[in-house]
Amino acid sequence: MPRRSPLVIGHRGAPGYRPEHSRSSYELALAMGVDAVEPDVVATKDGVLVLRHENEISGTTDVADHPEFAARRTTKKIDGVSLTGWFTEDFTWPELSTLRTRERLPKIRRSSATFDDAQPILRLVDLLDLVREGSNEYGREIGIVLEIKHATYFERIGLDLVPLIERDLRAAGWAGGELPLIIEAFESTVLLRLKKAGIVASFIYLIEATGRPFDLVASLGRAAPSYAEAVTPRGLDRLVGAVDGISVNKKMLLASDSTLVSDAHACGLRVFTWTCRPENSFLSARFRGAGGKAAFGDYESEWGVIARTGVDGVFVDHPDLGVAFFRG
């Protein structure tokens, strides 16, 4: 059954205030009252799962300032897109642990950027322990929404994420259903494999507003279905039994004629959406205000449209604002 108010999920912690995926970002999100936090996981050369938005880390760490790693800069094709920079899979964990986190959007989040170069990269196991401890400290159940990044790519280079995720979840006591765990990915095949492995979680299929999932492109080529096809009534029917819900780009809920949430609920699927942010830079045009990209626009009106769809979960960058609005 849909909740009366959606789950409020700290998207990479509280990145409106601290560099994303840093310890202080997650600690602040827990203190601000989130229901869950959302880490993104990628792998190192030696099979350690680390928390980064992408496996390319030049925009979120100080790696470019380390002369000992200058030769690691390279160009790769990730999910069909050519990227130049430094990649987690070219580093061991001891090497990555010498780097420090940085704000990914310094022109928009200047205050957060003042915390640059102060904190190391976290591993998944670090966050699993942090959230368990936070649940005990605050006296409430706090969950994790674990996003798997580039599963097909990593598998092709010999770093299959499925056994690595299973290893860390089981070792930390997060695999058996004792703690609230949601696993999400833009690639449905990795979700199905983890489900088959016996990980007790809710499995959520991430849906972009455009494009096609890379795992299906890799296996089917031009015959791969689009994300848009997955959210048609027929597409939603096909997801029943395979996943527990979908998580969609908020653009898909802001369309005036959207029936996506009610359609999914009619199939018994939960619906999450991303990402609720207050800055003009991220708001739909009709909700932007004065003051430039970094200023807050009329985010409450945009969030109101989203809330009225009956969505089950929202990802937020400013957990205090998200908790105040969606639970108010």
Whether 233 is covered by a domain: the verdict is yes
Report the C-alpha gap between 59 and 72 in whole angstroms: 15
Whether 150 is covered by a domain: the verdict is yes
Whether 102 is covered by a domain: the verdict is no
**Domain count within the chain:** 1
Report the C-alpha gap between 252 and 268 in whole angstroms: 19
- Give pLDDT, residue 155: 98
Buried b (16+ CB within 10 A) or exposed e, 183-193: bbbbbbbbbeb
- Give pLDDT, residue 278: 98
Strands 49-51 and 74-78: unpaired
Strand partners, 75: 84
Whether 299 is covered by a domain: the verdict is yes
Whether 26 is covered by a domain: the verdict is yes
Question: Consecutive 10-residue runs of the chain (328 residues): their mean pLDDT?
Answer: 78 98 98 98 98 98 98 97 98 98 97 98 98 97 98 98 98 96 98 98 97 97 96 96 98 91 97 98 97 98 97 98 94
Whether 78 is covered by a domain: the verdict is no
Give counts: helices (H), strands (E), the chain.
Answer: 14, 12
Structural domain boundaries, residue 191 = 7-55+122-326
- Give pLDDT, residue 257: 84
Q: Among candidates 63, 3, 7, 12, which has minimal Cα distance to 33?
A: 7
Whether 85 is covered by a domain: the verdict is no
Whether 88 is covered by a domain: the verdict is no
Whole-prediction pTM: 0.97
**Residue 226: which CATH number?**
3.20.20.190
Q: Among candidates 116, 128, 89, which has minimal Cα distance to 15?
A: 116
